[in-house]
Amino acid sequence: MDPILLAVYILLFPGFLFLLAYAFFFQFLDRKIAARMQARVGPPLLQPFADFVKMLGKEVIDVKGMDRKAFDAAPLLALAAVMTAFLYVPIVGNSPLAFQGDLILVLYLLTLPTIVLFLLGWLSRNVFATIGGVRAVTQMFIYEVPFFLALLTPALMAGSWSITDIVAWQQSHLWFAVLQPIGFVVALIGLQAKLERTPFDIPEAETEIVAGPWTELTGRRLAMMRLTMDVSMVVGSALVAALFLGGPRIPWTITPDWLSWIVGFGLFFVKTLGVLLVLASIKVATGRLRIDQLNDVGWKYLASAAILQVLIVLLMNYWWVSA
């Protein structure tokens, strides 16, 4: 790809501008679905954008004795990490920046926000924030292993570490959601935990420790961190859609190039919204777990399911692929 088209790809269309707009749209949809399920009307379309701009305009309060520079830099670091992760997920066809191992890079970039939350909790010198930060990291240890296992098994079967190749492999075989159902479920639950949504929103438990690591965030820092969470929701669901639901590809190829792009984008749009619907209904249908209960649930059920899935994949690889 020549550099200008690449720049357009990164900055404009399936890149950052689209990602920001899509993140706001995702937050709107998430709150709207949750509200409708709770018999409420729910926010208007531009509400997330209005919230974002208002938060930018608010006064920024620095707690006495806080490291201002680090506190300003941390949300930006998390936002940057999550937005770069979006470039490796195929949206319109295969992503031009794909390389062997971009799945690992995306997974690494997606864990950065949780670590930044812990950092924020620690930096803001507030007992609620510190406890929230500690809980965020404890929760990360619980769901991270099963989440990685669930997302790496498609790579095992497709035989390549690049998301684009996995999507291409699925074009000629069944989707991984059909081939590896356990992995699909574990991935969805892991994604819900990574985004710290209701069954797993223990760090930000509004009713126990005020707002957890978010307590001392004000003004633009809060805006950036809230945006990071929305963007990571988009990237997470796009990743799960790509790995398990076949990404923006359909089995038979369409001749004119631009038509296949549009169909690809349409598929990407529908699949990510499907994942969002599942996430939103999980959020609405459950209450919050305690951190020690999450520990039991996480290790007993999630981890064993993920390991079982890996075993099945290895067996299938041995018999089916080699035969």
Q: Which residues bind another protein (CB under 8 A)?
A: 31, 35, 37-44, 46-47, 49-54, 56-61, 127-128, 130-131, 198-199, 201-202, 205-211, 214-219, 222, 284-293
CA 79 to chain centroid: 12
- Cα angle vertex 114, ends 110, 117, to 5°? 140
Distance between CA atoms of residues 176 and 290, nearest Å: 32
Main-chain phi, psi angles of 76, to 5 degrees: -65, -40
Residue by residue, DSSP assigns 257-304 as HHHHHHHHHHHHHHHHHHHHHHHHHHHHH--PPPHHHHHHIIIIIIIH
Question: What separation, in Å, do the N-terminal and C-terminal C-alpha atoms of the chain show?
Answer: 38
CB of 283 to another protein, least distance (A): 9
Cβ pair 84, 103 in contact under 8 A: no
Q: Which is nearer to another protein, 40 or 300 (CB)?
A: 40
CB of 198 to another protein, least distance (A): 6
Q: Which is nearer to another protein, 102 or 204 (CB)?
A: 204
CB of 70 to another protein, least distance (A): 18
Q: Which is nearer to another protein, 285 or 311 (CB)?
A: 285
CB of 271 to another protein, least distance (A): 26
CB of 166 to another protein, least distance (A): 33
